Amino acid sequence: MEDSVLGRRRLLELAGIGLGASALTACTEGLTPVEKSSPAATVPPAAAPLTVTTSTGSFVSAFRPGVATHWSVAGPGLTPGGAHPLRPVAVFLHGLGGSHAVLMEDLAAHEALQRHLDAGGAPFTLAAVDGGDTWWHRRADGSDTQSMLVQEFVPFLGGLGCDLGRIGLFGLSMGGFGSLLLASQGRLPGVRAVAAMSPAVWEDYDPRREDAFDGPEDFAAHDVFALRPSLAALPKRIDCGTGDDLAATVRNYRAELPGTVEGGFQPGGHDGSYWRSILPEVLSFLGRNLG
């Protein structure tokens, strides 16, 4: 099928990157032999330290007409142009009223990732993109940010050198819902783990939440409670603050999820302070399951 949306080449042109195949090669780590008392005895060489760098850009999405869609990535080995060694990628979905900038500016996730690497955690790349207030699914106004993720942004990350066979999804509030929805619907075969921080989930349709769903049929088509069986084999982590108004429904959602569910309920509310406090454990979970 001819790519009616922005293909990888077009996205890279718009982002001003223009990567060739040589940019996707793995980095060579500096190896230093260590002398021992016996000439024949050696120890494994130490790997060069990994330093997290960031890159940002924007593109015009066929699924978000009329607006610029901004993105940001952070990971070890990024160059000013955005290329980096082939590594897993964790895609972050922001909450209501947020943007791609939440990941770096509000959560300081690039700094948390650096601490994760310094502690010996498995390396991977973080990525975020604008989704507006669409609740990360197709809406009656014609926008479709889930398809933007699947057909535009994730292929774009592949062009940067991300391993699309090892994808993690994570998000907060509206983005927690979006991450669970996308993982449940199976539109990205490379998803290997999902984490939701304070996900905005509901068991029943509420007409007062017309910002999230375009009616009862739309709710039924995106009912993450009904889709829980599809997550049986997928590593998953779900957290929520005990002082969050969503705690009761999140508890109900977790209760009947098949398989092991990591995370839990910790003191905190529906705010950045709580999300920053659990982010290191979320990154550790993603690193273990992607690396």
| 3-state SS track over the chain | CCCCCCCHHHHHHHHCCCCCHHHHCCCCCCCCCCCCCCCCCCCCCCCCCCCEEEEEEEEECCCCCCCEEEEEEEEECCCCCCCCCCEEEEEEECCCCCCCHHHHHHCCHHHHHHHHHHCCCCCCEEEEECCCCCCCCECCCCCEHHHHHHHHHHHHHHHCCEEEEEEEEEEECHHHHHHHHHHHHCCCCCEEEEEEECCCCCCCCCHHHCCCCCCHHHHHHCCCCCCHHHHCCCCEEEEEECCCCCHHHHHHHHHCCCCCEEEEEECCCCCHHHHHHHHHHHHHHHHHHHC
Whether 23 maps to a domain, the answer reads: no
Look at residue 26 and tell me if it is in a domain. no
Whether 159 maps to a domain, the answer reads: yes
* Whole-prediction pTM: 0.84
Question: Does residue 66 lie in a domain region?
Answer: yes
Assigned domain for 3 exists: no
**Per-position pLDDT tens, the chain of length 291:** 433 333 433 333 334 333 332 222 222 222 222 233 334 445 455 666 899 999 999 999 999 999 999 999 999 977 655 555 689 999 999 999 999 999 999 999 999 999 999 999 999 999 999 999 999 999 999 999 999 999 999 999 999 889 999 999 999 999 999 999 999 999 999 999 999 999 999 999 999 898 999 999 999 999 999 999 999 999 999 999 999 999 999 999 999 999 999 999 999 999 999 999 999 999 999 999 998
Q: Which domain holds residue 93?
A: 54-290
pLDDT in the model for residue 77: 77
In a domain, 49, yes or no: no
How many domains would you assign to the chain? 1
Decide if 220 is inside a domain.
yes
* 121 lies in some domain: yes
Q: Give the pLDDT confidence score for residue 18 in this predicted structure.
A: 33
Domain CATH number, residue 83:
3.40.50.1820
What confidence score (pLDDT) does residue 36 get?
32
